[in-house]
Structure formats: structure tokens, C-alpha cells
Amino acid sequence: MKQTVLSQTEISPGVFLLAVERRFDFLPGQTVKIGVSDGEPPRIYSICSGNQDAELKILYNVKNDGSLTPQLARVKPGDTLELSEPGGSFIGTAEPAVWIATGTGIAPFYSMLRSGLAENKILVHGVRRANQFYFSKDWKKTLGVHYHRFCSREEGDEFSLGRVNGFLETEHFSQSWKYYLCGQAEMCVEMRDLLISKGIPFGRIVAEIYF
Ligand SMILES: Cc1cc2nc3c(=O)[nH]c(=O)nc-3n(C[C@H](O)[C@H](O)[C@H](O)COP(=O)(O)OP(=O)(O)OC[C@H]3O[C@@H](n4cnc5c(N)ncnc54)[C@H](O)[C@@H]3O)c2cc1C
């Protein structure tokens, strides 16, 4: 369906939050396909807003040598995009869970938070730069001590230097919890192997890989 862009905000260098009107129901964690121009294959994006919010948002970073994102970054309010219906099986539930994300992989978890699924959740977010902890105010307010941040290239008072692995290697996790992984393939594969080595059943691990 064609949809008009309502807003487009650069929330961190090269990272944008784009909003259109929410015209359909979706499950928190689902994705949409977005196309900018005719003949250009669409790309998949996690929905980054609540399932009752008036606007549907996506969070994306521009790949300078990519095909779609440099065009998407030039889109202005009032321009038109092609948007698919929602899809995907990376769905949040009310069960206790650990949410593990790198970079813009935080998007589906933010949708889950905005959709009222933050109770009994631990969030572990890994980024390169300190200005990439998207929505940190909301996470701090909602999750408090259960919000864990790792930055691989900068030090700071409110987060640890390093990668998300550090957290999983030292903590003990319940086998009955669910483990959600979202972001780069390398992180998802590494974390899955680490969780399995710690006795977490394969069936309790769900991954959404951004390729
Ligand atoms: C389920 C899912 C959900 C996703 N959700 C998000 C999200 O919420 N936010 C987000 O930012 N991204 C998300 N992505 C990634 C997104 O779909 C796009 O892949 C991304 O935005 C890049 O698109 P692009 O067209 O700009 O780059 P592309 O043209 O796809 O290129 C991406 C990179 O691959 C390189 N490349 C392209 N073709 C080749 C080739 N043949 N050989 C080697 N390298 C190549 C390019 O140089 C570039 O660096 C998601 C992906 C999936 C599968």
C-alpha cells in the first residue's frame, strides 16, 4: 500500500526514525517491507512503535553503499512510500524473557515495550558508540536495573565497555525463560551458541537476523 511519510528524524548520525500513519494491526516484533521507488526491491524493517500507537515507525541506519537506505534517508514528510502488510514470527509475549539486541536491532523490542510487554524482561543492548543507545530514557524508566548497556568503542558512567557477550558470560539465566536475539548475524549466532553452552534449550531461543 502507498503511505505518506509523516516525519523523518535523524536520532543519531546516520540513524533515522521514520513515521507513517498506522493503518493496520500488527503483533509487537513484526516487520514490514518498504519500497521507495518503482523497480527497486523492497527491504524488510522491524516495526519500532507500539501496536496501539497512532503512528507506525521504523528505525534504520543508512548503508552508504546500500541500495535503499540512502534513498530512504532523502524522503521528506509528504512523500510517498510503498509499505507491505506486517509479517514475521519474531513475536513478543508476556512470558519472562531476555531481549538481546545490537544497534538498530533494538527496534522490535521497543515495539514490545510500547505494546505493554516490558514486565519480566531484561534488555541487553550493544552498540559501537554511546550516542546509539536509542530510547535509553524510556528503557531506564521502564526496566531500571534490568536495562544493561554495552558500548564497544567508548567508555561511560552509565554503560559497560565491551560487547553483549560479556553480560551473558557472567550471568546465570533460567532455562525456562525465553531468549530473543536481534541484530547482526554474527552476534545472533555467537549468542545462540553461548546460550546453548549454558544449558538454555534451543527451543527457548528466538532470533531475528538483519541481513
Ligand atoms: C527480518 C529483517 C528485519 C530488518 N529490520 C531492520 C531494521 O529494523 N532496521 C534496519 O536498519 N535494518 C533492518 N534490516 C536490514 C534491512 O532490510 C536492509 O538490509 C538494510 O537497511 C540495508 O538496505 P540497503 O538497500 O540500503 O543496502 P543493500 O543494498 O541491501 O546493501 C547492504 C550492504 O551489503 C552490501 N552488499 C550489497 N550487495 C552485496 C553483494 N552482492 N556482495 C557483497 N556485499 C553486498 C552493501 O555494500 C551494503 O554495505 C532488517 C533485515 C531483516 C532480514
Which pLDDT tens digit goes with each residue over 102-160? 999 999 999 999 999 999 999 999 999 999 999 999 999 999 999 999 999 999 999 99
Residue type, 162: G
How many whole angstroms separate alpha carbon 202 and alpha carbon 184? 19
- How is residue 183 annotated by DSSP? E
- pLDDT given for residue 39 in this prediction: 81
How many whole angstroms separate alpha carbon 132 and alpha carbon 175? 30
On whether residue 39 sits in a domain, the answer given is yes
On whether residue 79 sits in a domain, the answer given is yes
Q: What range defines the domain where residue 25 resides?
A: 2-83
Q: Are 125 and 69 in contact (CB under 8 A)?
A: no
The count of structural domains within the chain is: 2
How many whole angstroms separate alpha carbon 106 and alpha carbon 164? 13
Helices (H) and strands (E) counted in the chain, each on its own, are 5, 12
On whether residue 90 sits in a domain, the answer given is no
Same domain assignment for residues 198 and 110: yes
On whether residue 88 sits in a domain, the answer given is no
Q: Whose CA is nearest to atom 7 of ligand 1?
A: 45
Same domain assignment for residues 40 and 139: no
Q: What is the dihedral of CA 101, 103, 109, 115, to 10 degrees?
A: 170
Same domain assignment for residues 116 and 190: yes
On whether residue 201 sits in a domain, the answer given is yes
* 73: nearest Cα among 133, 1, 15: 15
How many whole angstroms separate alpha carbon 181 and alpha carbon 192? 8
Q: Whose CA is nearest to atom 37 of ligand 1?
A: 66
Q: Which residues contact 56 (CB under 8 A, 6 or more apart)?
A: 19, 20, 21, 22, 23, 26, 32, 47, 49, 83
Same domain assignment for residues 73 and 140: no
Query: Residue 27's domain is classified under what CATH number?
Result: 2.40.30.10
Same domain assignment for residues 61 and 145: no
Q: Whose CA is nearest to atom 50 of ligand 1?
A: 210
The CA-CA-CA angle for residues 64, 69, 73, to 5°, reads 95
Same domain assignment for residues 121 and 203: yes
* Ligand 1 centre distance from Cα of residue 211 (Å): 5
Q: Are 92 and 115 in contact (CB under 8 A)?
A: yes
Q: How confident is the model over 5-18, as a mean pLDDT?
A: 98
Q: How confident is the model over 27-33, as a mean pLDDT?
A: 98
Instruction: Establish whether residue 60 lines the binding site of ligand 1, counting it when its CB lies within 6 angstroms of any ligand atom.
Output: yes
Q: How confident is the model over 27-35, as a mean pLDDT?
A: 98
- 83-94 burial code (b ≥16 CB/10 A, e <16): beebebebebee
For residue 45, the ligand 1 atom closest to its alpha carbon is 5
Banded pLDDT at 53 (limits 50, 70, 90): very high
* Ligand 1 centre distance from Cα of residue 58 (Å): 14
* Ligand 1 centre distance from Cα of residue 144 (Å): 32
On whether residue 89 sits in a domain, the answer given is no
- The owner of cell 528466538 is 206
* Ligand 1 centre distance from Cα of residue 35 (Å): 13
Q: Are 28 and 117 in contact (CB under 8 A)?
A: yes
Q: How confident is the model over 56-65, as a mean pLDDT?
A: 97
On whether residue 91 sits in a domain, the answer given is no
Residue type, 98: V
Same domain assignment for residues 60 and 37: yes
Same domain assignment for residues 76 and 128: no
pTM of the predicted model as reported, rounded to 2 decimal places: 0.96
Same domain assignment for residues 62 and 115: no
Same domain assignment for residues 49 and 150: no
Query: Residue 177's domain is classified under what CATH number?
Result: 3.40.50.80
